[in-house]
């Protein structure tokens, strides 16, 4: 099984970001993880890619045997931007331009193993968003054929929040890879285990396109992003998730709820290991 984590490196000072990446790499080596996911926020983008990643930070990544995933523009719940699924051409093109700037920079300096993008916040009927989203994906495919791009099932209010809509996108885009966030998916079916099992069975036919499972727990009243090892009543069925979609050796099992804590990451990994044993 392949493991990774997101150490939550924020846009603070450059030396602090470098040190946090070094600490994350030490944790990855200690735990035998092979992927680190870095979130590229609006704040980092505004500071400038060369300002933030140029020099030492990029050198560390380039000389490391670890693989890196780039989580592009995690959604801000305070904003209602439809992003690359915007029905209006001009604002959609602005968001696409941001993505292309990021992809161009890293493909020229240090290609990522995966670029994780979001569909944006829902403001119209899903059918309208789907047409716009497919136009954006087609444009990115023409500009960067073969670049590893994936979309994730999204937060409440997102274009891809509802399972039927996420499945419809995968049906309509046969070459699209995807990332599955367990906590968000469990929330999207109102913490109903039978409905969650149905979703997993539906996703199983796209298993060859699953790039990453973002592991987070959840339960009624407990929030969306609890660690797997948290003791929750009616929490996530980890074993069921692994049995149906988690056995593909190409899938990265990624933890993004516990930061870079070695002990907490070890507990998360143990839960997934134990789930895979049955």
Q: What is the pLDDT of residues 109-148, one digit of tens each?
A: 999 999 999 999 999 999 999 999 999 999 999 999 999 9
- Please provide the average confidence, as pLDDT, over all residues in the chain: 93
C-alpha closest to that of 195 among 205, 207, 185: 185
The whole-angstrom separation of Cα 258 and Cα 129 is 33
Strand partners, 67: 35
Q: Pinpoint the alpha helices (H) of the chain.
A: 14-31, 42-47, 49-53, 56-63, 89-109, 126-143, 163-172, 182-188, 193-203, 238-245, 262-276
At 79, the pLDDT band (50, 70, 90 cuts) reads: low
Share of the chain above pLDDT 90, in %: 84
Domains, the chain, ranges and CATH? 2-276 (3.20.20.150)
The model carries a pTM of: 0.94
Burial class (CB in 10 A: 0-12, 13-18, 19+), 151: buried
What's the residue count for the chain?
A: 278
């Amino acid at each position: 099984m392949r493991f990774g984590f997101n150490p939550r490196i924020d846009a603070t000072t450059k030396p602090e970001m470098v040190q946090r990446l070094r600490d994350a790499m030490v944790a990855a080596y200690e735990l035998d993880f092979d992927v680190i996911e870095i979130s590229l926020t609006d704040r980092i983008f505004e500071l400038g890619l060369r300002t933030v990643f140029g020099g030492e930070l990029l050198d560390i990544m380039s000389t490391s045997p670890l693989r890196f995933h780039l989580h592009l523009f995690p959604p801000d719940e305070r904003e209602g931007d439809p992003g690359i699924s915007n029905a209006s051409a001009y604002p959609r093109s602005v968001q696409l331009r941001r993505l292309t700037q990021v992809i161009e920079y890293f493909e020229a300096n240090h290609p990522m193993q995966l670029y994780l993008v979001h569909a944006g916040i829902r403001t119209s009927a899903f059918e309208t968003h789907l047409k716009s989203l497919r136009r954006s994906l087609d444009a990115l495919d023409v500009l960067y054929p073969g670049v590893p791009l994936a979309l994730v099932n999204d937060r409440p209010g997102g274009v891809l929040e509802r399972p039927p809509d996420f499945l419809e996108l995968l049906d309509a885009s046969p070459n699209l890879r995807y990332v599955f966030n367990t906590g968000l998916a469990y929330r999207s079916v109102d913490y109903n285990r039978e409905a969650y099992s149905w979703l997993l069975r539906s996703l199983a036919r796209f298993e060859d396109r699953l790039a990453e499972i973002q592991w987070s727990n959840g339960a009624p009243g407990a929030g969306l992003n609890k660690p797997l090892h948290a003791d929750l009543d009616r929490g996530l069925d980890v074993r069921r998730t692994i049995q149906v979609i988690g056995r593909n050796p190409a899938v990265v099992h990624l933890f993004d709820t516990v930061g870079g804590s070695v002990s907490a990451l070890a507990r998360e990994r143990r839960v997934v290991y134990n789930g895979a044993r049955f």
